[in-house]
Each structure stands twice: as structure tokens, then as C-alpha cells.
Amino acid sequence: MVGLNMKKLLCTLIGLSLLVSLAACGGEKADESSAPAAESSDPVAESSAPGGEESSEPEVSTPWEDIAPAESFTLDRSVYKTGEIQGAPEEVTSYPGIFELRREGLYKYSCETDGGTMEITFAQTAWGTWNLGAWRLVGEEGTTVFVAGSTDLEYVYRAAKKPGDWVWSGGNHGNEKLIDLTFYDGATGKKLDVEAGSVSADSFTVVERTKLRWGDENDSYCNVTRIYTFCGPQVRLNVDYDYTQDCCFYLSYTGMFPVDKRYGLWCDMYDAQGSKLATIETEKVGKADYSGDVHSGNAAVRAVIYGYEQTDYSFDIRVTTFADSVNDLNNDYKTSFWDMNQTQNKLYFSKYFLDKPTNVSAGTQLHTECIWLFCSGK
């Protein structure tokens, strides 16, 4: 009997052991699939537990347009994917100049050159943004106006919400909203109060933030930061684009230069390897109806412009961000020198296509760089 009872006890213990093992396995499987996992993934449950210190409130970021301008600023050029242009002049990095508020809606930058005082205006548009304006040289024999300031230099886009429905956006065409404008000493990065009077520095950095839009003031598609560097006879423009909506583009321009024919009748086009692609000559008196030859299709990233008066002077203009500025010259229009009207010609660096849309997705960031240089001696 004792032996039989011991056998029964052993069987019972073995059975209980098997049940415990099965229960444990079943519990692990349930943990992976249902209740415990749901409890651990619930942030409200975690934050409301006794003694919990972490907040369940999501962080709210400040809207881009509400971020106040920094008290100091230094341009980080590492984000600009620039390429070398053989034969291009060295950049001007330090040159004494003056910035001053001439009147409401108009600033003037000036510096001394061998030929006189170089003046570049910075003017406010009717819709609030600020653009480069007139370029002139004030000398002993009078004033030479190279650029009248009646058209744009920075950029202009054919932008659309959907294919075929594009509007002009940016530059001298409107559909752009000013956020703020801030001046800095280009060498020290210190914020400047230009409105208090004329300010002297070896270079100036002007940061202008805008929103590009399709027409509706409240419907913008891109946050834009323009960074101008004024340094003697040179102006460099770096532009950061942060697209906030999906959009599509047609033929657009990321750097331009309008010039009086007397000082810009010819244009030499150069590629990145320094080879001269063409010398374009326009009519001394162009067509009043803006139907002159556009001289497009030049795979150029640099242009040298000069005229038949004041022949010691020229302008050297280039884009250094080949991919973001001109899409590596893969469109048909490329770089052009338009015989614009009776008295003016205009240089264009272009991207995208005239007859087919190019899509740009929300979240895309582009960074462009264009340099304008006034030269004494061609």
C-alpha cells in the first residue's frame, strides 16, 4: 500500500509540474499579443501611474514665422553644395562699405572703387519684400546707371498646385510675403541697427525671411531665407528653401541680371571647366514689345557682361550650386541672355521646363548661391 501510495503521489506531482509549465508558456504568448502589451504602450496609463514624472503633453514647436531673429548670425556655407568654376575671380571677403536708410522703403549700400562710389540700392516692394535694386557708379564725370532697378535679380518661379495651373511667385512678381528683415555685421555676426543711421563695416549680412505662395496670402508653399552678403563690389545671395506643401514648377529662374545695353551689350558664357561657350551680342536698340531674341540653351554657370560705353567695367555673374540652382543644366532653356527691350538686356540662370511640370515634395530643402561682381578692367 505504501508503495502504491508513493506511486500515486509521484504521478500527482509530475502532473502538477506539467500544468505549471504549460501555464507559463501560455502566459508568455499572451504577453506578446494582447493585454500586457496594450497596457505598456499606453502613454496616458504610464504618465498617470503613481509617482510618474514624465508628462504626456506633446512638445509644441514654435511656428517658423514666429521665431525671433537671432542677435548674432554667421552663415554656414557647408549646406550649399557648391562646385568650382575654373577661371572665375576670387570672392571678395573684406571691403569697407556703408549701409544706410535713405528713406522709408529704401536702403543704400555704397563703397569706394577706382572709378568712384559704387552704390547698390535695396528696395521694398509694394507687397512688403525687399529686393536688390539699382546699381550705379558715381564719379567725377557724373553717374553711370548700370542697373535701373526696375526688374528683379534674385529669383522668380512658375509655381503650381497642380499641373498647368501655375502663377508667378517671388522676385518682382509678388506672391511672396515678408516675415522679417535683419542686418548683421558680416565679420563679427553682430546684429546692427541700420535704421538709426549709416553704419560702416567690412561686410554686411542681410537676412530676409519670406513665404512663397500661390496667390492666397494664407496659402504658402515654401519658407524662404535669403542671406545677402554685401562686400565692396560684390553681392552674394544664398537662399534656403524649405517646402511646406507639395507643388510643381515650370521654367523658373534662380539668378538674374538686368543691364543697360550701353554697359551690357555683350555676354560671354562659360561652363564650370572655364571654357567659353559663346559670346552673345544683342541689338543696340532692341524691340519695344519685348519680342527680342532670348539667346537661350547655353550650358553656362558663369557669365561676363560688358558694353560699348565705360569699357573698363564689366560684371561677372555666376551660380555655384549647380544642382539646386540650375538642376545641373538638364533643362532645354538653360542659361540665356535676353535682348529684353529697347534699352536693356537680361541674364537668366534657369531650372525646370517650360512645357512640363517638375514635382517638388513637401519637406524638400534646397540651397542656392549666386554671386554678382562689378569689375574694373575687362
Q: Which residues of the chain have pLDDT under 50?
A: 1-54, 378
Q: How many domains is the chain partitioned into structurally?
A: 1
Q: Are strands 266-270 and 302-306 parallel, antiparallel or unpaired?
A: antiparallel
Cα→Cα distances 138→88, 98, 345, Å:
26, 15, 22
DSSP code at position 91:
P
* Grid cell for residue 17: 509540474
Report the candidate in 208, 211, 252, 212 with the shortest Cα–Cα distance to residue 229.
Answer: 208
Q: Using CA of residue 350, residue 147, residue 75, residue 274, what is the dihedral sign?
A: positive
Three cell numbers written together for 347:
541674364
The helices-and-strands tally (H runs, E runs) of the chain is 4, 22
Running DSSP on this structure, what letter comes out for residue 308? S
Q: How far apart, in whole angstroms, are the C-alpha atoms of residue 104 and residue 294? A: 36
Q: Is residue 116 part of a domain?
A: yes
In a domain, 328, yes or no: yes
Of the candidates 232, 258, 247, 365, the one whose C-alpha atom is nearest the C-alpha of residue 317 is 258
pLDDT at position 332, please?
A: 95
- The CATH code of the domain that includes 260 is 2.70.98
What's the CA gap between 119 and 55, in Å, rounded?
A: 57
pLDDT of residue 376: 87
pLDDT at residue 140, rounded to an integer: 87
Q: Is residue 1 part of a domain?
A: no
User: At a CB cut-off of 8 Å and minimum separation 6, what does 116 contact?
Assistant: 137, 138, 139, 140
According to DSSP, the residues that pair with 191 across neighbouring strands are: 184
Residue 180 lies in a domain: yes
Q: Domain for residue 44, yes or no?
A: no
Q: Tell me if 270 is assigned to some domain.
A: yes
275 assigned to some structural domain: yes
Burial code (b: 16+ CB inside 10 Å, e: under 16) for 160-190 equals beeeeebebbbbbbbbbbebebbbbbbeeee
**331: domain range?**
96-376
Q: Alpha-carbon distance 282 to 276, whole Å?
A: 18
What pLDDT is recorded for position 56? 57
Give the number of other CB atoms < 10 A from CB of residue 60. 6
List, for residues 86-105, the tens digit of each pLDDT value: 999 999 999 999 999 999 99
Indicate the pTM of the whole model.
0.84
Q: Measure Cα distances from 308 to 31, 243, 251, 260, 264 in Å.
A: 85, 43, 32, 11, 8
Domain presence at residue 49: no
In sequence order, which ranges of the chain are alpha helices (DSSP H)? Answer: 2-33, 35-40, 43-47, 322-326
Per-residue pLDDT, 196: 83
- DSSP states along 223-251: EEEEEEEEETTEEEEEEEEEE-S-EEEEE
